Structure 1
């Protein structure tokens, strides 16, 4: 491999950063490939062949080789998420600051697309906890929704808002993750083209943008709430200087994160603990060649200032005319009394009942793109099921037919092609691979209508055997 074409002065600038080893860093970029890692979905238990655990994440695993995930039906079923290993460190931070999970919490993932950290948070919380996954850029919202749909839970909401919009939700969130837009130097090994876009001027612009984003969202964090801040940058201005700015501006308290969990006490993680210059705030740096992953910076701070009372808004209940429809819709979820049902246009949706008031409040202040699980439309007393319902872990599968597919048939289905099956039954069927639902098809006497969503169908041609 050729020596990486790092930006001018990049290595000399980075040499001043804590724990940086220039020779090791250059060798990692020149002679080693980015490791492939996945994170299993704990709600869809499925055995997958892996090559060792990511030590700072319970569900994270490395793979020996990078397969074609596009042509793995279990990926489309939501059994795992392909995620860079270093970014899974957020799981360790969450488990450190919330070891008991006694009280329900509301968590905001502020810059959430494509959904890696959102699905990670969703794995770490319970049904009584609420995740709000926000994406600022409208065109990136659909992929965020798709990935949360695959994860299958009903305790998440997706919004499309600017950080300043959250300032109206004073003291609403217990935890905010701000995985801030950055100059991207931590991705140089994985994406060498990013080297051409890096500049000191862009680092300074990112620093200013990060301050604005954090200042805008800060009011939404409750007193004694936690802010998790992360970037995929090595630059001091975007990392340790931001921590000092947070401590200066908002008097936040920095929290140390233990580097080794008891279950991994004999393993060296290779993460560099740093301290900011002014306030000695704790930060954690990942360098390729030292930690088994790409570049990352992460830190956790606690809000000490008193927050204004969180807003609360209760919408009016269902119209009486809809009660009969609700009883029909309930048939399609397990433990149906646990959910609050609402209707948007013709679509019925369900979210964990405990989150009704939060949903009412968020709908008043934010632009909501997804909430809970979309069940489908009622045509008389019959349900036209939504794709979200197929992938949900809350679906009453006994209410539907189930068709097990071979690998070849599953790929045909995911490409939205005709499937060569002679059905013996009629009606809506969950199309499954190794017992995991992929989506819906309508079984008819002489054919099968494939209802896999065309916007997410596989477009690429299958690899040649």
Structure 2
């Protein structure tokens, strides 16, 4: 079968890859559209869609057609995330390895946030998620997506992998969804074919090894390293597993799968490390490789350090903030400039440690500023799971009104009976804040994330 469009030598390079079926692979790229899938937020319940389940993800669903997510207020409320189905397998790995003990998890290459929200869904409030993005310009979209998701046990950082080497033995779980040659996205993004070459594969392999070596000291003994790429290349996948086992003391973990899922279970040549390959045509999803290993050595621990407060707290001011939160006494309150923030109290020490070594972009939930005894609430508070909705007015919007609000347009046919700060909600889910006045409303939806498009579709 001919394969128009693929880069020269691409298919011959794949011919030795575990489970590769040339004809099936070509047919999937020529005749099948990439499926659309979403993953529901378990913390913000909505009715499931009518499509089929993603078999390896309890909250994952295939959609029969691709709607305009931009014009769905529930998307902006964080009730679901649009995510490629194969990548949801990371959640299946996490559910298999994570026990009941509190865990600190790091998503090292996190933007735009699909896998971070996936990890967040599997964590409890006494677990901690650190979502890091290396590229500064990609941090805002990561922060926005995690704000929408809602939990307060999340910290976003903007650091190079080598910066984490100082956090010796800090994390129980590290996900490295490594930059790669991108061949797994060829069906979804045909332009990626123009970037592929054997030389680029080799460069990616070297970069992957460097990233893994840099972050490895931050994983504690008996902690888990999850490694994934969207590449089919053995050099970037099984060979990386062998390199890891050659270089460090790591034990490969077999992940249970079902044969009807269509996932190819592979073994690396030298160490027989387990890997999991996703091929379009065999699975209903795009290309992915994933593996899990457990660290079997102690590479050092954090030194005892005297921790500094984020900013000296004014406890009388904090008492004015607490009524806006559920379970207020179980949170640690701190200020960054004039803004009050809160994070689960169990993470106070971790926050102090991370702030010493890393550049923090988001810590817990930003509550807002105090003006006298009144709170000017922040957008993060509106979308958080810890907000005390009974503390504020709530204004329910129709879909048309919700879209107007998300555009920062005038909201038509809105009856205002109260005045003051109000949560603007759609189907009961908060979208953001507005200030209700006798003859108008002031829309406080953030300008930088408003809907710019004027027409649906």
For the criterion TM > 0.5, the same-fold answer is: yes
Tell me which of 390, 415, 426 is aligned to 2:419: 426
**Rounded Cα–Cα distance in structure 1 between residues aligned with 2:357 and 2:87:** 30
Displacement of 1:311? 4.1
Partner of 1:412: helix, strand, or coil? helix
Change (3 A) 1:33 1:298: same
Once residues 54 and 122 of structure 1 are traced to their aligned partners in structure 2, the CA distance between those partners, rounded to angstroms, is 18
Give the one of 186, 195, 199 matched to 2:184.
186
Contact 1:57 1:92 in 2 (8 A): yes
8 Å Cα contact 1:422/1:447 also seen in 2: no
Q: Is the 8 A contact 1:314 1:361 kept in 2?
A: no
Write the distance in 1 (CA, Å) between the matches of 2:397 and 2:409: 13
Residue in 1 that maps onto 2:111: 113
The answer to whether the 8 A contact 1:314-1:357 is kept is no
Separation in 2 of the partners of 1:314 and 1:147?
33
Shift of the 319–412 alpha-carbon distance from structure 1 to 2, 3 Å rule, reads: closer
Match of 1:131 among 126, 129, 132: 129
Aligned residue number for residue 463 of structure 1: 456
- Output aligned runs, 1:387-398, within 5 Å: 387-398=379-390
User: 1-side partners of 2:305 and 2:46: how far apart?
Assistant: 40
Residue 67 (structure 1) aligns with:
67
CA-to-partner distance for each residue in 1:156-196, whole Å, 9 max, x for gaps?
Answer: 00000000000000000000000000000000000001001
- Whether contact under 8 Å (2:309, 2:352) holds in the other structure is no
Distance in 1 between the 2:310 and 2:302 partners? Answer: 25
Question: Residues 386-444 of structure 1, C-alpha deviation per residue, up to 9 Å, x if partnerless?
Answer: 00000011100001000000111000000011112231100000000111100000000
Alpha-carbon offset, residue 307 of structure 1: 2.8
1:383 aligned to 356, 367, 375, which one? 375
Instruction: Name the residue aligned to 1:256.
Output: 254
Structure 1 segments, 4+ long, off by >6 Å, are 318-321
Deviation for aligned residue 1:349: 0.3
Per-residue CA deviation, residues 230-273 of structure 1 (Å, 9 max, x unaligned), is 0000001100110000000002111111113xxxxxx7000000
1:336 match: 328
Structure-1 residue corresponding to 2:230: 232
Secondary structure at the counterpart of residue 247 of structure 2: helix
Give the TM-score taking structure 1 as reference length: 0.96
CA distance in structure 2 between the aligned counterparts of 1:246 and 1:50, rounded to whole angstroms: 42
Cα distance in 2 for partners of 1:224, 1:319 equals 35
How far apart, CA to CA, are the structure 1 residues paired with 2:40 and 2:144? Answer: 17
- Distance in 1 of aligned mates of 2:43 and 2:201: 39
Equivalences for 1:276-355 in 2 at 5 Å? Answer: 276-316=268-308, 322-355=314-347
Higher mean alpha-carbon deviation, 267-276 vs 394-403, is at 267-276
Q: Compute the displacement of 1:310 (Å).
A: 2.6
Which string of whole-angstrom CA distances, capped at 9 and with x for unpartnered residues, describes residues 259-291 of structure 1? 13xxxxxx7000000011111111000000001
Determine the C-alpha separation between the residues in 2 that align with 1:295 and 1:320: 49
Q: 2 CA distance for matches of 1:303 and 1:73?
A: 43
Structure 1 unmatched ranges of 5 or more: 261-266
Q: Secondary structure at the match of 1:189?
A: coil
- Change in CA separation of 1:68 and 1:318 when aligned onto 2, cut-off 3 Å: closer
Cα distance in structure 2, aligned partners of 1:281 and 1:194:
29
**Residues in 2 aligned to 1:276 and 1:290: alpha-carbon distance in whole angstroms:** 21
User: What is the CA distance between 1:12 and its match in structure 2?
Assistant: 1.4
**Deviation per CA, 1:195-234, whole angstroms, max 9, x where unpaired?**
0110100000000000000000000000011000000000
Once the two structures are superposed, residues 347-386 of structure 1 have per-residue CA deviations (whole angstroms, 9 ceiling, x without a partner) of 0000000000000000000000001000000000000000
Q: Which whole-Å CA distance do the structure 1 matches of 2:59 and 2:48 have between them?
A: 12
Distance in 1 (CA, whole Å) between partners of 2:38 and 2:76 is: 14
TM-score (norm 2): 0.98
Aligned to 1:437: 430
| C-alpha displacement of 1:318 | 8.3
Give the aligned length.
455
Q: How far did 1:320 drift?
A: 7.6
Structure 2 unaligned regions, length at least 5: none
**Equivalents in 1 of 2:436, 2:85: separation in Å?**
41
Distance 2:181 2:173 in 1: 25
